[in-house]
Amino acid sequence: MIYIAFLRAINVGGHVVKMDDLRRIFESFGFKNVETYIQSGNVIFETSTTNKKTLTQKIEKGLNKELGYEVATFLRTKEEMRALVKYDPFKTIKASDKAKTYVTFLHQTSEVLRKTSEVLGKKVPVFSRKKDVEVIGVRECDVFCLSHLVDGSFGFPNLFLEKELKTPATTRNWTTVSKMAE
């Protein structure tokens, strides 16, 4: 099965990891056809393992051992990514100088799904206090956001959603997500 791992805390906040090293680490876990995409911790790989919880734990434990710090890992299958891109709530909204398009990935657990439904539910659109982040859609544990230019800077969906949902998350721009699904 082909998976895409979206890793949090790779090449941000002083945690620099070369993509060749990240690829080598994933290969050491026994994964095949490992590829990285750009420098923000996106890894495509193949494995016969189908249990996402077990796979996520293996990756997080292995990365912690190799890198010396916790790296939250958000897995999606290639099929899930294709369905996500097909869903595309941004069809009529394109990124601009005043708004950027993002997807925030949450852990795919029943607790996170329940919490996401309760907090965001059918209230979409949901805005951050400063109105710099707008949630325009939710699909299972994937949250679609617009980041608006307010007072000279863009909001970042990750911070807003982690605070609201009280769960780890990682965010990628729509262009990256679309390319990862190809």
* pLDDT tens sequence across 103-161: 999 999 889 988 888 888 778 899 999 999 999 999 989 999 999 999 999 999 999 99
**What range defines the domain where residue 8 resides?**
2-77
pTM of the model: 0.93
Domain count, the chain: 2
Q: Which of 77, 111, 144 is the last residue of a domain?
A: 77
Structure tokens at 10: 């790779």
95, pLDDT greater than 80: no
The three-class DSSP label of residue 10 is coil
Q: How does residue 11 score in pLDDT terms, banded at 50, 70 and 90? A: confident
The reply to whether 100 and 22 lie within a common domain is no
The answer to whether residues 17 and 67 touch, using CB atoms and an 8 Å cutoff, is yes
The reply to whether 73 and 94 lie within a common domain is no
Tell how far CA 59 is from the center of its chain: 15
Mean pLDDT of the chain: 93
Is the Cα torsion angle 71, 50, 104, 35 positive or negative in sign? positive
DSSP code, position 133: E
The torsion angles phi and psi of 122, rounded to 5 degrees, stand at -95, 15
Residue 83 maps to a domain = no
The string of DSSP codes covering 34-74 is EEEETTTTEEEEE-S---HHHHHHHHHHHHHHHHSS---EE
Calpha distance 26→69 (Å, rounded) = 16
Q: Which of 43, 58, 77 is the last residue of a domain?
A: 77
Q: For position 115, what pLDDT does the model report?
A: 87
Among 143, 131, 47, which Cα is nearest to 5's? Answer: 47
- Apex 4 CA angle, 28 and 178, nearest 5: 145
Q: Residue 47: which CATH number? A: 3.30.70.1280
In the chain, what percentage of residues exceed pLDDT 70? 99
Q: For position 124, what pLDDT does the model report?
A: 86
Q: Residue 129: which CATH number? A: 3.30.70
Q: Which of 77, 98, 121 is the last residue of a domain?
A: 77
Give me the residue label for tokens 């925030």: 104
The string of DSSP codes covering 91-112 is TT----SSEEEEEEEE---HHH
